[in-house]
Amino acid sequence: MAGLRMNDLGLVSLLTTTHHHLQGFVHIHRTKMSTRAQLYREYKLVVVGGGGVGKSALTIQFIQSHFVDEYDPTIEDSYRKQCVIDDEVALLDVLDTAGQEEYGAMREQYMRTGEGFLLVYSITSRNSFEEISTFHQQILRVKDRDSFPMIVVANKCDLEYERQVGMNEGRDLAKHFNTKFIETSAKQRINVDEAFTNLVREIRRYNKDQQARPGGTSGGCVVV
């Protein structure tokens, strides 16, 4: 270094400073990438219920923010949406399922992979309300669990004049299942977001409880 001229010293200083800046850039870039990777978590949500209860309407209203008026029976549709729930980024993989009995054989397949379920009935159909118990029992049987993340969803609450199932009946059923209850309207976008985001919270709570147990592991409006 003793033989270096002033210009050489200036060049060395510049190179050293630039090197430090580049090191800082790489560090920041890596930190951001690492943080981003840690924040993302995918949740497999499944919407189940009888035919015509509004499963597709709820799902499309949540994903695309518009109401589908006509009834087109679904076989199976999958949607994805990224959102922030309680300051955590969540990638939601939402499966809209068939309600018709002829597609019942497909149920066990999606029940195996689902991490959380919306049990949907229509307040205008007592039959759809009574079907919910069958879905609930089948999910627990397939999962081989006494409990699992689910929410009872009473849809079409905008059709109060056609109501066949009282709110208290829905609450009591959810209490019997030890799950939350919510009334929604896909048409008027009442509690649509809340139904899906609360299900994610239930999954998180369930996974945390499973991890807290010895040897536990985890996989990836009116609310009562």
Residue pair 154/182 in contact by the 8 Å Cβ criterion = yes
Note the pLDDT of residue 29.
41
Instruction: Tell me the average pLDDT across 111-123.
Output: 96
Instruction: Tell me the average pLDDT across 143-169.
Output: 97
Instruction: Tell me the average pLDDT across 70-75.
Output: 65
State the pTM of this model: 0.77
Rounded to whole angstroms, the Cα distance separating 136 from 21 reads 58
Is the per-residue pLDDT at 11 higher than 50?
A: no
**Backbone CA torsion sign across 36, 192, 138, 224:** positive
Rounded to whole angstroms, the Cα distance separating 55 from 47 reads 6
Q: How far is CA 162 from CA 10, 70, 122, 156, 202, in A?
A: 84, 18, 10, 9, 31
Residue pair 17/10 in contact by the 8 Å Cβ criterion = no
What pLDDT digit, counting tens, does each position of 29-58 carry? 444 444 444 557 899 999 999 999 999 999
Q: Which residue has the tokens 């592991």?
A: 217
Rounded to whole angstroms, the Cα distance separating 160 from 167 reads 11
